[in-house]
Structure 1
Amino acid sequence: MKKDCNVVLLGSNGYLGRTLTVRLQRDVAVFPTHRQGALFPSSLQYDFWTDDLTPLLSLCQADIVVIAMNVAYVAQDPVVDSRLFRLRVGKLVHACRERRVIYISSDGIFDGRSGMYTETDVPHPITPYGKNLQFFEERVREFCDDYCIIRPSYLFGYAHAELDRRLARVRAGLLAGEHFTFFKDMIKSPLDVNQAAEAIAQITLSNYIGVVHVGGVAMSVYDFYHTAMQTLQVPCEGLSASMMPADSTMPKNTSLDIRLMKGLTGVRPYTVQEALQRIPVE
């Protein structure tokens, strides 16, 4: 494991970014960045859409750059200029080319037709988000020799004692009498965000080059929410299951094969129940 190195973490305000920042700080010097409103006292301002990253990397004497910003998701919005997104990705990755680069991608890069995707499966994105992820991954491969592309699935659980927005929204809605319907045949690989941060930190500070899938046990989106709400002791009468429409443009099964993650890091995914029981519900 690398010890005497400086890590610049782009996107420290995000759900995964802030969890990963805290985890990496246990081992190395971390320089987190933010676009607006710093969460960490040492955080440096960086705007993907306007700023040149080169001076910041020089200032921090960066050895490793972790790209945890989900700009690929932001860029799927029709109001965002796709040409600008591609230009900014190129500039960012080119600035990092002489350093180790960790890019946090997503299972959204797959079409969802088969599931249990391995790191050697060829991506075939069918959504604007997935296509943006693919473009980013390709630029990392093109410009960087020392890189790792990490593809998580559903991340959930407590980050700094705060439940993720996805589950918090459904919990609040059910308690307020709202009704939610989730797909029984949409399959993901949910993983506790703290375990994801542990796996990513280990991979970041290793010498591994390539792609790693970071996820948990495959399950349907409906089963995920139902199990989570039961664990959080929230009545589930307002939850119902349905099947995906035949004409849906969303990936159906983007579950991930995680044998490589286990071998590289030793992380053994918690069940949904185990993850949500680790911090008492307030």
Structure 2
Amino acid sequence: MKILVAGKNGQVGQSLVSILEQQEEVTFLALGREELDITDISQVSKCVSSFKPDVIINAAAYTAVDNAENEIEAAFLVNRDGARNLAIAADEHDAAILHISTDYVFAGDSSGLYTELDTESPQNVYGRSKQAGEQQVRESCERHIILRTAWVFSEYGNNFVKTMLRLAQSRKSLGIVADQFGGPTYAGDIAHALLSVAHSIYNRKAKFGVYHFSGFPYVSWHEFAQVIFQRALERGIISTPITLTQLTTKEYPTLASRPANSKLNCQKIFEQFAISQSDWRLQLQQIEKYQ
């Protein structure tokens, strides 16, 4: 099987490369923005035509949620147009596309878990750009799988876990939002899920469409932070406990509005591919790797 990875320098992209380097049965080409500008359809077409992948994994995205409110064109250029270009190239060269999307396509104002069939109603520019990307992928390539995930963290790049550990070096107390809920998801587990799906596609066993994959159990950002600092204390990364204060979303205003409920129902991906939800607590046991 041949896999083309776009966005190799992101959290999921770096996780994919780390795993793919250990898989002798897979030939892969992983490219970053400098090597493959997904917003350039001519460049994308030439790359796909030359490499001839069986599966394209789109791990490239504009993810600066707050900045997107003022950089609308840039967000849509990558998240909508870039996704479309990769999907078109996949369709033209008989490849399948695995496209990563987000919980932010939902308003987050309902109770319970969001399923793949629930109505999309993004509340910020980033979410709208990702929703537009999903639509372009659906329309441009019949052999597509859209994987929505949430609250991504890893040893790579910038994320909530690394931010908390950094702040712990200089702060004795922190206020953390306690009225937004979701499933923290380890990027390495997203990568494993994507590759499992890719193998199913290659073996002609995949059912195409939209799937959810996120971590479990569901928690607030405040609860997530509590576990992070508990692990850090246990592993000697910090020497004294951090005092955490619960904040409401109104008390911690951001440029872009965030969903209050980002809980994704992941039953469909389990039923189709036997992929279970990521256990983020397990992934925090070796918390020193996130420093």
TM-score range for the pair, normalised by the shorter chain length: 0.7 to 0.9
**Which of 163, 170, 183 pairs up with 1:189?**
183
Percent identity of equivalent pairs: 22
Superposition pairs of residues 104-143 of structure 1, within 5 angstroms: 104-114=100-110, 115-143=112-140
* One-letter amino acid of the counterpart of residue 242, structure 2: E
Q: Which residue of 1 aligns with 2:152?
A: 155
Query: Offset of 1:238 from its aligned partner?
Result: 3.9
**Which of 68, 83, 86 pairs up with 2:59?**
68
Q: Is 2:203 the counterpart of 1:211?
A: no
**Which of 171, 192, 216 pairs up with 2:165?**
171
**Which of 9, 15, 18 pairs up with 1:13?**
9
* Deviations, residues 258-282 of structure 1 (Å, cap 9, x unaligned): 1123334444445443211146658
Query: Offset of 1:63 from its aligned partner?
Result: 1.7
Structure with greater helix share of residues: 2
What is the alpha-carbon root mean square deviation over aligned residues?
Answer: 2.7
Comparing 6-15 and 178-187, the one that deviates more: 178-187
Superposition pairs of residues 20-99 of structure 1, within 5 angstroms: 20-25=16-21, 26=23, 27-36=25-34, 45-50=35-40, 52-71=43-62, 73=64, 76-79=68-71, 81=73, 84=77, 86-98=80-92, 99=95
What is the number of residues matched between the two proteins?
Answer: 267
* One-letter amino acid of the counterpart of residue 186, structure 1: Q
Q: Which residue of 2 aligns with 1:41?
A: none
Comparing 5-14 and 272-281, the one that deviates more: 272-281
Query: Offset of 1:77 from its aligned partner?
Result: 5.0
* Deviations, residues 114-173 of structure 1 (Å, cap 9, x unaligned): 2411111121111101100110000011011100000111122446xxx86421221121
**Does the CA contact (< 8 Å) of 1:158 and 1:279 recur in 2?**
no
TM-score (norm 1): 0.84
TM-score (norm 2): 0.81
**Does the CA contact (< 8 Å) of 1:182 and 1:241 recur in 2?**
yes
Comparing 130-139 and 265-274, the one that deviates more: 265-274
* Deviations, residues 174-230 of structure 1 (Å, cap 9, x unaligned): 121264322111001112222221112111222230111111221111101111111
Q: Which residue of 1 aligns with 2:285?
A: 277
Separation in 2 of the partners of 1:225 and 1:48? 35
Comparing 110-119 and 164-173, the one that deviates more: 164-173
Unaligned runs of 5+ in 2: 201-205
Q: Which residue of 1 aligns with 2:203?
A: none
Separation in 1 of the partners of 2:63 and 2:91? 20
Q: Which residue of 1 aligns with 2:265?
A: 257
Unaligned runs of 5+ in 1: 37-44
Q: Which residue of 2 aligns with 1:245?
A: 250
Separation in 2 of the partners of 1:118 and 1:238? 36
In structure 2, do the counterparts of structure 1 residues 232 and 271 end up closer, same or farther at CA, with 3 Å as the change threshold? farther
* One-letter amino acid of the counterpart of residue 225, structure 1: A
